[in-house]
């Protein structure tokens, strides 16, 4: 059995993270000591690593909850998990596209600023951002 | 000629059944009027993103995302009838 500190150490997270996952219903202690300290086992370590890995792949906690439910359901199969992964990849591709657009917009703004010694009230980047805000508000 | 494209991932069981029903509707109208293409989302992810596909299965008609999930038979039929005039 592991204490919360040991569990956190094994999965390279903080104890606050473990408590947060518990609050979110993702990881519950196997038992508690008489003094009320949380106790975990080997499955808890694997589950915690799973959560971390899924987060690194871009899954939200809600999606991870869904994946864990699939993982523990006899009725689900590999295909169900694959389809969640495909959907996630699709969302990430959309995000990448949006980030590329944002990056290009910033390149344009940086390009129009050709004089770094101008006073702030003549800053073309701030002016461009203000005018685009004004356009949106119209 | 109307071009129907259905985006899904290979091996999606629920898509297969629904797709077969919808494909039959498109085929009823005649291959000279409606063409049908199954798009493997994994092979054409960029194209799917271009069209704004956010989840699968989804259906585009003439290069425009029209149904973000598979439509009912009646909805597809009325959309195709409308486009055929």
Q: Could you read off the pLDDT of B31-62 as tens digits, one per residue?
A: 899 999 999 999 999 999 999 999 889 999 99
Mutate to test the interface with B, among A66, A77, A78, A83 (most CBs of B within 10 A): A83
Q: pLDDT averaged over chain B?
A: 92
Rounded Cα distance, A63 and A40, in Å: 23
Mean pLDDT in consecutive groups of 10 residues from the start of chain A, 138 residues: 94 95 95 94 94 93 91 78 88 93 90 80 84 70
Q: Identify the CATH number of the domain in which residue A61 sits.
A: 1.10.1660.10
Bridging pattern class, strands B2-8 and B58-61: antiparallel
Residue B7: strand pairing partners? B39, B58
Q: Is residue A108 part of a domain?
A: no
Q: Do A86 and B42 make contact, defined as CB atoms within 8 angstroms?
A: yes
Of residues B13, B46, B55, nearest to A87 (C-beta): B55
**What is d(CA A3, CA A15) in angstroms, rounded to the nearest whole number?**
10
- CA separation, residue B4 to residues B15, B37, B66 (Å): 15, 6, 10
User: CATH classification of B2-84 is 3.40.30.10, yes or no?
Assistant: yes
Domain boundaries, chain B: 2-84
Q: Taking a C-beta distance cutoff of 8 angstroms, is the pair B5, B60 a contact? A: yes
Structurally, chain A folds into a number of domains equal to: 1
Q: Which domain holds residue A42?
A: 2-76
Q: Across the interface, which of B11, B12, B48 has its CB nearest the CB of A90? A: B48
> What token pair was written down for B76?
């597809």
pLDDT of residue A84: 86
How confident is the model at residue A82, as a pLDDT? 84
Q: Looking at residue A136, what is its pLDDT?
A: 66
């Amino acid at each position: 059995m592991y204490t919360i500190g040991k569990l956190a150490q094994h999965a390279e997270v903080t104890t606050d993270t473990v408590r947060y996952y518990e609050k979110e219903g993702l990881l519950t202690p196997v038992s508690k000591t008489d003094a009320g300290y949380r106790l975990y086992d080997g499955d808890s370590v694997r589950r915690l690593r799973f959560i971390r890995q899924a987060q690194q792949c871009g899954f939200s906690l809600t999606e991870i909850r869904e994946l864990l439910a699939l993982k523990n359901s006899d009725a689900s199969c590999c295909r169900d998990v694959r389809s969640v992964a495909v959907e996630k990849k699709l969302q990430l591709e959309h995000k990448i596209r949006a980030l590329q657009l944002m990056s290009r917009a910033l390149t344009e703004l940086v390009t129009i600023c050709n004089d770094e010694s101008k006073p702030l009230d003549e800053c073309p980047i701030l002016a461009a951002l203000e005018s685009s805000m004004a356009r949106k508000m119209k | 000629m109307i071009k129907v494209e259905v985006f899904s991932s290979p091996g999606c069981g629920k898509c297969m059944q629904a797709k077969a029903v919808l494909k039959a509707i498109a085929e009823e109208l005649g291959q000279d009027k409606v063409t049908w293409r199954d798009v493997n989302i994994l092979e054409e992810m960029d194209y799917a993103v271009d069209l704004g596909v956010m989840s699968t299965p989804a259906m585009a008609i003439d290069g425009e995302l029209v149904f973000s999930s598979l439509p009912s038979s009646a909805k597809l039929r009325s959309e195709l009838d409308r486009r055929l005039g």
